[in-house]
Structure 1
Amino acid sequence: SRVLIIGDFDVDGATATALFMRGFGLLGYPNDKVSFLVPNRFEFAYGLSHELVEEAKKWQQHLLINDDNGIANHDGVAAAKQYGWDVIITDHHLPRETLPNADVIVNPNCVDNDFPSKNLAGVGVAFYVLLALKKTLQAQGWFDQFNQKALPNLTQLLDLVALGTVADVVPLDRNNRILVEHGLKQIRQQQSCVGIQALFEVAGKNFQQAVASDLSFACAPRLNAAGRLDDITVGIHCLLTDDFNQARMYAKQLNDYNQERKIIEATMKDQALNTLAQLDQTLQANQQALPPILCLYDESWHQGVVGILASRIKEQYHRPCIIFANSNETAESPTQNELEQPSSVQIKGSARSVEGIHIRDLLAEINRRYPDLIPMFGGHAMAAGLTLDRVDFSRFKQILEAVAQAYCHEDCLTESLYTDGALHAEELTLKVAEMLRYAAPWGQHFPEPLFDGHFIIQRKTVLKEKHLRLELSPVSDTASNKPPNNTNRVQGIIFNTDVTQWPSEQAQVHLLYQFDVNEFRGHRSPQLMIKKRL
């Protein structure tokens, strides 16, 4: 039978697709019988849409396997079944009350699923499906035909599991930490796919020193950029090739996408912050506060970058944020036909939330009260996606803010900083930085240690007008007013900051930071990764 893998256009979906493709090969399934299809976000709706099913007919497959999507795609599954295809859904997103009519649904978050690890990413679900498939094939004697001394070792795919798990920011519970750590070990030992090695190279990172944050900040943004701006297929090819020169070519292309994404994001962020600043000023003049949830739309915004922008706004204002853009980036202005039939024009939104406010449940509550308002939505506690008719945006925003007033507790909207205290001057060493670095993987619900302390700025260097490198001397003991320890200096860096707001050299500052290792031209040194000035 021909098998078609239906993926998603983010890193979790891309790694799950690559994992299924590689996994089927390891299990002995003919390569010419397995293909993949990932919807381009500018042409198709999320997941297995009715339109994607029509596109999938070209592959003449008998079996559809959805990875990291499908749990909300009732219409798409129904369309696939009409063609006589078998449909397997492997997903981790929260299901609605009714499930699609698929032949098999594998989702640890379904009510009747007793799998204990509920926080798996989509790629984690795919990995366990392959493990179960291997066990079944072994029981049926499938591997006897290959005359191999050993069974296929699927743990060699854990590099993909680690990358997708970290990139999707799922909680790093005990099981996910095990999966990520084993995947990182493979990367450090040069046993990962060459595509991941090429991504480390183009990012200027040493894969032999790989930690979870490298997956978050070096690999994931480059893969995601392809899905945001064009098509994630190039990223999947990067993860599938076994030719390092080809992988380098793909990685270079992904890096170019990421540079373009940064430019687009910066423009959108400036526009959004200006809009919010004006709103804040108006509300303050009327002695009103910002709404508990922020919701913005601009017809010029790029739909591929709305998720990142929502994250940035959420971090700055510490409240949930939903950012909308036109569903097709070319539809910046409505056509005459769209003006006559405005409900035909849709916008896509990306939501990000803060701890204590379950954004997917909030959307579900709105959908329960106003079932005609949101054509499609899905997600989980901290992130979600949705589609609206453009004419309904103002109505949706009004309803959203009203429902959020009762749904969002004030405590959740007040940022609280919990730190591990201060590191003493004698602890600001490379040994301690390395100890913290390799006690990882750190991540969601298992955060990297966060410290705060007082320092004297000895030297200040501005980088690219928005980053700041500092040479710092720790203040030995602020309680007893001991003098600064000028003999023990440490480097610090903060990214994307307003450099004009920082004091001059010799000033004392109170910093919130993580302690890490900086590697430059083979030289390793301790460095404060500064999060903010307190």
Structure 2
Amino acid sequence: MSAQQWILATIEQPPEWFIQAVKQHTPASNGLYAAQLLWQRGIKEKSQLSTFINYKAYQAASPFEFGQEMHLAIARLQKASDNRDKIAIWGDFDADGITSTAVLWDGLGEFFIPDIELSYYIPNRLKESHGLNHQGIDNLAKQGCKLIVTCDTGSTNIDEIIYAKQLGIDVIVTDHHTLPEERPPVTAIINPRYLPKEHQLFHLSGVAVAYKLVEALYQTLPHVPQHPLEDLLDLVAVGLIADLVQLSGDCRYLAQLGIQRLQADFQQPPTARRRPGVGRLLELCQKNGDRPTDISFGLGPRINAVSRIQGDASFCVELLTSRNAKRCNELAEVTELANTRRKSLQKDVQAQVAQKLAQLDLSTTSVIVLEDAQWPAGVLGLVAGQVAQETGRPTILLSTEGVEDKGDKEINKTPHSSLLTQHGLNAPLPLTALSTQNSALLLARGSARSVNSVDLYKLVKDQAHLLHRFGGHPFAAGLSLPIENIPLFTAAINQQLQQSLGGTTLTPTVQADLVVTVADLGKELFLELKLLEPCGMGNPVPKLLIQNCWFENGWHRNQQDWQGKKVQYIKTEFNIRDNSTRSGFPGIWWGHYKDELPIGRCDCIAELDYNTFKKRYEIRLIAVRPSENSALTTDNSPLILDLRNQEYTTLTDRDSALILEHCPTNWDDLRVWLRRCLTTTVDNQQQLAIAWSKPNHQPGKEIWRTLVGIAKYLSRTNQPVTRVQLLEKLGISDRTLFLGIKALKSCGFTVTREDRYLQITWNSSSVSVSNADAPIAQFLAAVSEEQFQQKYFAEVPLSTIVAMINSHFD
């Protein structure tokens, strides 16, 4: 694994007038931190500041900024209303696509009769690709559909649009993904990519584009709708934030309004909520809807999990739009269970990927390409994203179970063809160097994620001659290719990136925005940083650098689902301390064990958050490393006092140090004591005095004979014994004693536990020498290894102890 590079953003001191302007919005603090962040992120004028913080000062763009295309779309919808045409909404299976479909279902449902004139279709992630397909169009034609309105998809489905037109079906595309070279033959295409990059609508996600279409219809036919347009804004916020688009311009404005609607609805009694399904989902993920993170860490992953696990996510539209609380509760719980299953699958695949990754030489690898026949398609993009962040290299994960494909027209009928992953990957291009007309292909399908500003889409596109289909954008891609092409594709894409880098080394990086102390953490700083919300691409959650700190009271556990069952997903909780305060501050570290927390002084990068469920402010740990000022970085360590093989009773202050008299047998034993040093006192770290002497060991066979003799005596006298008594008598560790008891059992002894005591009896008639050989040999080997380790720890230099402990957590 590459060493992680930490970067501290250039901190510019804003002018005093700007700091005072920000302070008006942070009455509980001086506003300096928020002012520094806003200034370094390009907010440098009073008018910018006003519209950024206060949505009421922002002037949203008209939906007719889309020009002639919007007018064409509205005209066709008016014609459909006059003719009572049947309309089908064609959505997508990720959170942006699901919320887009829900917005059109509710919005167009004000003008067309749901389930009679209006229907919707969501492709199956595990059986179909993103975008339109022939089979689905055939089914809609049979139902008498005259108009398809896409959302979050469709811009490049040229062949499918022509096919629909041949069947007498018009198509209105609402989308935000990559545009084709020429305008598709549609009735209208509403896509912000046609606008200039600086336009306030340019970064709209699929759900926001769908909302703009409904807004235009509301403005055109204002007397028809029975419900206010603003009722759709909570869905818009969910899709916008879950899709990770840049939250600037109208994106930020709509997200701000939507979060308010989301929170207001959740505060209603469950029976009075407009969206009981959303409310129940928030309850299940222990959120209340007032934070963007409630969507990015709560609602978004749960909606996405359904298609990842089940393939068919159609019921999620009902979950988001139905007013039937009982039905919504049932659907929300199915969604929650899908997310639980997604976590377990993701962790399993992550562990398997880590094993394969360990076999790679990252010094000669620019693009990581890994394959496996057993990997489930739905979680490959998530794991690829994690690997890319950890290694600093674009990552492609492929499932090679050998799906057959007999040509482009059948692509949507084959399992796992939907690996064109969730963020902008609805533009599969039928590019292949192999003929698919006369023979079936065995295809590998997978997901790719990028990092370090590497344009992943271009990398993949340049190898199109080796691929079957692909689609994506610079940060993410989905692809399929003949299994036999994988080695050539891997070599070619690595060579291509290496040449473009020109010798530059790819390194995983994490950037901090501000330097703070533990004393700074809490409500005041949280409210100050909250000015920047909602955060997203272009305006990330502020990362805080805390230096020369340490951790206390660390513990970890598996997560539990809403039914109380354990999920194979670890979270560590802790308190963080530094010299700025006597009190610790709580924090969490997702996906890590408590033993991964460094010992001694360290530096960390974290995000400040508010835990609604526990009603407390806490940090979310992002990265951690030993501090340059750590007490464990020199031989003359103030934390460790070396008193081995000498008299230590002359210590002037025995209370100032923890004394370890027993020689350890492994590094973990030593780390446990070091952790005790860090958590013993409030004001200072307590020293650890390592005070063991060079052990005088008995031969292993003598220890075995002693153990057998004790067992026979206890059997004959019917006396109990404690584990501690055996350990002291034999001079061995718990693990070795366990192997000794196992060996006793193979020799005919029965060992039972009653409270703290062991009861040993012997049945000589059950002894089998052949059965006892292997367990006795295991015990003797453990004794030998333990004695070797103790001899090592008796003589190892203190500098080695310090270096080994630090390297374990580096």
Considering the TM-score relative to the shorter chain, is it more than 0.5?
Answer: yes
Answer with 197-206 or 405-414: which moved more: 405-414
Structure 1 residue 348 displacement after superposition: 2.5
Aligned to 1:459: 553
Q: Are residue 532 (structure 1) and residue 616 (structure 2) matched?
A: no
Task: Tell me if the contact between 1:470 and 1:493 (Cα under 8 Å) persists in the aligned partners.
Answer: yes
Aligned to 1:374: 467
Structure 2 equivalent of residue 491 of structure 1: 586
- Residue in 2 aligned with 1:479? none
Deviates more, 1:179-188 or 1:510-519: 510-519
- Residues 96 and 412 from structure 1, CA distance in 2 versus in 1: closer, same or farther, beyond 3 angstroms? farther
Report the alpha carbon displacement of residue 306 of structure 1 after superposing the two structures with TM.
1.2
**Structure-1 residue corresponding to 2:606:** 513
78-87 vs 52-61, greater mean Cα deviation: 52-61
Q: Does 1:184 align with 2:259?
A: yes
What is the alpha-carbon distance in structure 2 between the residues aligned to residue 463 and residue 108 of structure 1? 45
After the TM superposition, which residues 430-449 of structure 1 pair with which residues of structure 2 at under 5 Å, given as runs?
Answer: 430-437=523-530, 439-449=532-542
- SS of the residue aligned with 1:94? coil
Work out the CA distance in 2 between the residues paired with 1:431 and 1:9: 40
Instruction: Give runs of aligned pairs for residues 65-144 of structure 1, distance below 5 A.
Output: 65-110=149-194, 116-138=200-222, 143=223
Change (3 A) 1:474 1:121: same
Kept in 1: contact 2:93–2:122 (CA 8 A): yes
Q: TM-score, normalised by structure 2?
A: 0.57
Amino acid at match of 2:448: A
Quick check: 1:27–1:134 contact (8 Å CA) kept in 2?
no
What residue in structure 2 maps to residue 248 of structure 1? 329
**1:168-204 Cα shifts (integer Å, max 9, x gaps):** 1111123211111110000111176222211101112
User: Aligned equivalents of 1:397 and 1:88: distance in 2?
Assistant: 39
- Indicate which of 468, 474, 488 corresponds to 2:572: 468
Residue in 2 that maps onto 1:22 = 106
> Aligned-pair distance for 1:378?
2.2
- The change in CA–CA distance for 1:304 and 1:87 in structure 2 (over 3 A counts) is same
Over 3 Å counting, the alpha-carbon distance change for 1:29 and 1:520 in structure 2 is closer
**Displacement, 1:396?**
2.5
Q: Say if 1:376 and 1:387, in contact at 8 Å, map to a contact too.
A: yes
* 3-state DSSP of counterpart to 2:193: coil
Shift of 1:214: 0.9
What are the Cα deviations for residues 204-259 of structure 1, in whole angstroms up to 9, with x where unaligned?
2223xx21111011111111111111111121210121122221111100011111
2:349 paired residue among 268, 281, 295: 268
Q: 1:344-383 alignment to 2 at 5 Å?
A: 344-367=441-464, 370=465, 373-383=466-476
Give the 3 Å change call, closer, same or farther, for CA 410–351 of structure 1 in structure 2. Answer: farther
- 1:235 correspondence with 2:321: no
Q: How does 1:125-164 map to 2 (within 5 A)?
A: 125-138=209-222, 143=223, 152-164=227-239
Distance 1:58 1:308, change over 3 A: farther
- Greater shift after overlay, 24-33 or 491-500? 24-33
Aligned to 1:400: 493
One-letter amino acid of the structure 1 residue matched with residue 381 of structure 2: G
Match status 1:62 vs 2:136? no
Report how far residue 115 of structure 1 moved: 5.8
Task: Output the CA distance in 2 between the equivalents of 1:317 and 1:224.
Answer: 25
Aligned to 1:335: none
| CA apart distance, 1:292 | 1.9
**Which consecutive unaligned segments of at least 5 residues does structure 2 have?**
1-84, 266-272, 404-413, 418-437, 559-568, 626-810
Structure 2: how far apart are the matches of 1:41 and 1:55? 18
Alpha-carbon distance, 1:44 to partner: 1.8
Is 1:222 aligned to 2:315, yes or no? no
Counterpart contact for 2:551–2:597, Cα < 8 Å: no
* Bigger radius of gyration: 2
Question: Does the residue aligned with 1:417 lie in a helix, a strand or coil?
Answer: strand
Give the direction of change, closer, same or farther, for the CA distance of 1:267–1:99 in structure 2 (3 Å limit).
farther
| Bigger Cα displacement from structure 2, 256-265 vs 240-249 | 240-249
The SS at the match of 1:219 is: helix
Q: CA RMSD in A?
A: 2.6
Compared CA separation, residues 11 and 408, structure 1 to 2 (3 A): farther
**Paired position in structure 1 for 2:803:** none
The CA deviation at 1:114 is 9.6
Post-superposition shift, 1:394? 2.7
Aligned-pair CA distance for 1:264: 1.2
1:152 to partner: Cα distance? 5.0
Match of 2:286 in 1: 204
Q: Distance in 1 between matches of 2:477 and 2:416?
A: 24
Offset from partner CA, 1:382-421 (integer Å, 9 cap, x none) = 1222232333333322332232223457668333433133
Stretch moving more, 180-189 or 510-519: 510-519
Aligned length: 490
- Asked if 1:308 is matched to 2:382, the reply is yes
Pick aligned residue for 1:193 from 243, 256, 275: 275
Matched, 1:385 2:385: no
Quote the offset at 1:441 in angstroms.
Answer: 0.6
Contact 2:572 2:593 in 1 (8 A): no
Q: Sort the Cα spacing of 1:21 and 1:222 in 2 relative to 1 into closer, same or farther, 3 A.
A: same
- 2: CA distance, partners of 1:62 / 1:395: 46
CA distance in 2, matches of 1:448, 1:114: 23
**1:30 to partner: Cα distance:** 5.3
TM-score (norm 1): 0.85
Q: Shift of residue 429 of structure 1?
A: 2.2
Q: Secondary structure at the match of 2:611?
A: strand
SS in 2 for 1:26: coil
SS in 1 for 2:622: strand
The 1:201–1:133 alpha-carbon spacing in structure 2 relative to 1, beyond 3 Å, is same
AA matched with 2:579? V
Structure 1 distance, partners of 2:207, 2:324, is: 23
Are the equivalent residues in 2 in contact too, given 1:12–1:167 (CA < 8 A)?
A: yes
Q: Which moved more, 1:261-270 or 1:407-416?
A: 407-416
SS of 1:462 mapped into structure 2:
strand
**Cα distance change, pair 47–182 in 1 and its aligned pair in 2 (3 A):** same
> Quick one: structure 1 residues 128 and 437, their matched pair in 2 at CA, closer, same or farther if it must change by over 3 Å?
same
- 420 and 237 in structure 1: CA distance in 2 versus 1, 3 angstrom threshold: same
State the alpha-carbon separation in 2 of the partners of residues 457 and 113 from structure 1.
Answer: 45
C-alpha spacing 1:471/1:112, structure 2 compared with 1 (3 Å): closer
**Cα contact 1:93–1:378 (8 A) shared by 2:** no
* Contact 2:141/2:169 (8 A) holds in 1: no
Instruction: Find the aligned partners of 1:494 and 1:322 in 2 and give their Cα distance.
Output: 26
AA matched with 1:228: R
**Separation of aligned partners in 2, 1:403 and 1:219:** 38
Which stretch has the larger CA shift, 487-496 or 104-113? 104-113
Q: Secondary structure at the match of 2:194?
A: coil
Displacement of 1:15 in angstroms is: 0.3
CA offsets per residue over residues 19-38 of structure 1, 9 Å max, x none? 10000123455552110111
Distance 2:416 2:513 in 1: 48
